[in-house]
Amino acid sequence: MSGRGTSVDRPARDRRAQDRRERGAEARRSGRRGEAWAAAWLMLKGYRILGFRLKTPQGEIDLLARRGDVVAVVEVKRRATLEQALTAVSPDQRERLRRAGRNLCARRADLRDAVVRLDLMALAPGRWPRHVADAWRQDAGRP
């Protein structure tokens, strides 16, 4: 008896699962496009891009960029509005990004003496990118 309800629900579940996969794939493509825009914007401002989507034990760094003695751990957020993008990074995520940046730079001889900074690149349709250098400098416990 319990098997009958399962067969009726299966097509709907399969459609929902397919919809989720398609939304996820589009979100990943959109994120990659946003990271490419952010990298281009930073290069125009004189930064050298050191890496994209860097995996660390603490989390993923969207962009790692350097200008002079500063290494920027750049979190890229693309939202419907710039205001939403500017508020999209939680305090826990900020702390993970800080730790990831410090640990990554400590392991690379060419970056050991650099000042590590946490930046935000906010993107929204129809708007110029907004780069916020040292975006969360007011956070407590900041290095």
Along the 143 residues of the chain, how does pLDDT read in single tens digits? 455 555 558 888 888 888 888 887 877 777 788 899 999 999 999 999 999 999 999 999 999 999 999 999 999 999 999 889 889 999 999 999 999 999 999 999 999 999 999 999 999 999 999 999 999 886 644 44
The per-residue pLDDT for 143 is: 42
pTM of whole model > 0.85?
A: no
The per-residue pLDDT for 4 is: 53
The per-residue pLDDT for 69 is: 94
Burial of 133 (0-12, 13-18, 19+ CB in 10 A): middle
Domain boundaries, the chain: 36-132
The per-residue pLDDT for 139 is: 61
Q: What angle do CA 119, 29, 57 make, to 5 degrees?
A: 50
The per-residue pLDDT for 6 is: 55
Distance CA 66, CA 25 (A): 30
Question: Is residue 47 within 8 Å of 121, Cβ to Cβ?
Answer: no
The per-residue pLDDT for 140 is: 42
The per-residue pLDDT for 76 is: 96
Distance CA 100, CA 58 (A): 5
Distance CA 124, CA 78 (A): 6
Question: Is residue 102 within 8 Å of 117, Cβ to Cβ?
Answer: no
The per-residue pLDDT for 141 is: 47
- What residue has token string 């990118």? 129
Compute φ and ψ for 98, nearest 5 degrees.
Answer: -60, -50
- Could you tell me the fold of the domain covering 36-132? Trna Endonuclease; Chain: A, domain 1 (3.40.1350)
